[in-house]
Structure 1
């Protein structure tokens, strides 16, 4: 495996079928030709529980990653849907901060570089000026923790109007002026909002630390097969290449425990790599 000279392409955990142990999961990732995993810590109690793992559980996870030469470069921390950092409830907001503190420590313990944060002040409640201010206060605390741990927090543009564009996220990046706060664009979400993908990517030029790759149609943000949506991947990848972006790409898809999930994620990799290559990126087949 050559993770330095070729374009790093990873897979979002939810694309994978549920397997009984981490060693099997990491082996599957390697067999499907991906170079790294993006771990999911969503709002389900099962995945939130990961942030409470003891040393032995973290070691087993890390050992499986090392044994298969498949690192975990990023964590998708979408648990803040349930426990948003801008919630009007002090208890909910504190829970969200506690989860973020635990996610930072988890990253330190397992070698994760980037925690991707969903761009929400709140999700299941109505946002307003107060929730936005509470979100900003929470981010101040989060960045203090992240700085001490040397873990990068990166905001993703989401299916929510609060931070649905790179332009909006950059307002926060510029406000905080912290090297620990960066941008994680999702080109599918940008397309679903009918935004100019090329111009949005340019807004984050020197602050992009990861790219979510998925297909979408207008206002439909999930579960569109590659090639069936309206995302102009060739244009997006060319824009990134012209910007000299050399960071990781992550294929975001959902298996829903499909019987042919392995074949689907292999096809997705091949489909995306072909377009990355057309844009000028160096693509190498992983050999195990």
Structure 2
């Protein structure tokens, strides 16, 4: 299945309109965003009726909300030294799992940061793992997968670094969500080997382009036009296909406030899909 990130689609439309547009563009599903803004965090408190409206749109259009990008923990990190922020992070997680359960979301993508706006330390790492274990226990109770994204941050910027956290939390409900762009941007990563070594942990894959990190440049991890970055898309798709990866892909874009988001998405499909087909994937 191939999905589209919510932030690629126009922002100020209803969920029914968003799912209808995704269907028009031949996507199987939409990945909902729960980011650090008050507007999107408020979705965690949707009423039963608000959830019912979204569920009805899902059933009527046939387009699922298959995954959730929960990046709100940037603002309220699980590893924060501030106990009130950690409590808020756990509350957000519980609400996100409940929302996912109600909407039929299969997988929640967690941002792989111990902290984002604070200074990192052994303590923030330990607090992150301690609270992540609590999150996984919540998820297990509802049968929802938690998948850590490979990030634009040194804390978890490879599947190998994810595995160090996975070693502490032995649960089938805790897995990895690699972003091909983020994985490729860090020069230390042997991308093909990373995919091979940890294929059994991969639940979903983000597709985007990035500019690589160098000694003189911090890299660019968002809004890099497809084809302008460092990602070897054909190589990544061929590797995943050889490994019999048949899970979902999500095209990650930020065209929600663009003058022509539909065109930008079609252009992205026109760039990505030939590589996927050449690698052996069937694309609509």
1:125 aligns with: 118
1:144 is aligned to 2:132: no
Is the alpha carbon distance of 1:228 and 1:261 closer, same or farther for their aligned partners in structure 2, counting shifts above 3 Å? same
Q: Deviations over 1:191-240 (max 9, x none)?
A: 11122211111231111000000011111101011111111000001111
Find the aligned partners of 1:248 and 1:206 in 2 and give their Cα distance.
14
1:239 aligns with: 239
Of the three residues 69, 76, 85, the one matched with 1:83 is 76
Find the aligned partners of 1:272 and 1:149 in 2 and give their Cα distance.
34
1:164 is aligned to 2:192: no
Q: Deviations over 1:152-197 (max 9, x none)?
A: 0000111111111110111222321101000100010011112221
Do the aligned partners of 1:116 and 1:153 also contact (CA within 8 Å) in 2?
yes
Q: Calculate the aligned-residue CA RMSD, in Å.
A: 0.9
Do the aligned partners of 2:129 and 2:168 also contact (CA within 8 Å) in 1?
no
Higher RCO (CA < 8 A, seq sep 6+): 1
Aligned length: 277
Q: Give 5+ residue unaligned stretches, structure 1.
A: 1-7
Find the aligned partners of 1:203 and 1:161 in 2 and give their Cα distance.
20
1:40 aligns with: 33
Find the aligned partners of 1:83 and 1:26 in 2 and give their Cα distance.
29
Of the three residues 15, 20, 23, the one matched with 2:13 is 20
Find the aligned partners of 1:262 and 1:164 in 2 and give their Cα distance.
31
Give 1:16 deviation, angstroms.
0.8
1:50 is aligned to 2:6: no
Find the aligned partners of 2:59 and 2:225 in 1 and give their Cα distance.
31
Do the aligned partners of 2:140 and 2:173 also contact (CA within 8 Å) in 1?
yes
The residue matched to 1:257 in structure 2 has which SS?
A: coil
Alignment of 1:1-288 (within 5 A): 8-194=1-187, 195-218=189-212, 219-283=219-283, 285=284
Do the aligned partners of 1:216 and 1:224 also contact (CA within 8 Å) in 2?
yes
Instruction: With the length of structure 1 as denominator, give the TM-score of the two structures.
Output: 0.94
Name segments (4+ residues, structure 1) moved above 6 Å.
none
Give 1:256 deviation, angstroms.
4.7
Q: Deviations over 1:103-148 (max 9, x none)?
A: 0000110100000001000000001011011001101111111111
Do the aligned partners of 2:149 and 2:179 also contact (CA within 8 Å) in 1?
yes
Find the aligned partners of 1:110 and 1:83 in 2 and give their Cα distance.
24
Find the aligned partners of 1:270 and 1:27 in 2 and give their Cα distance.
20
Find the aligned partners of 2:105 and 2:176 in 1 and give their Cα distance.
16
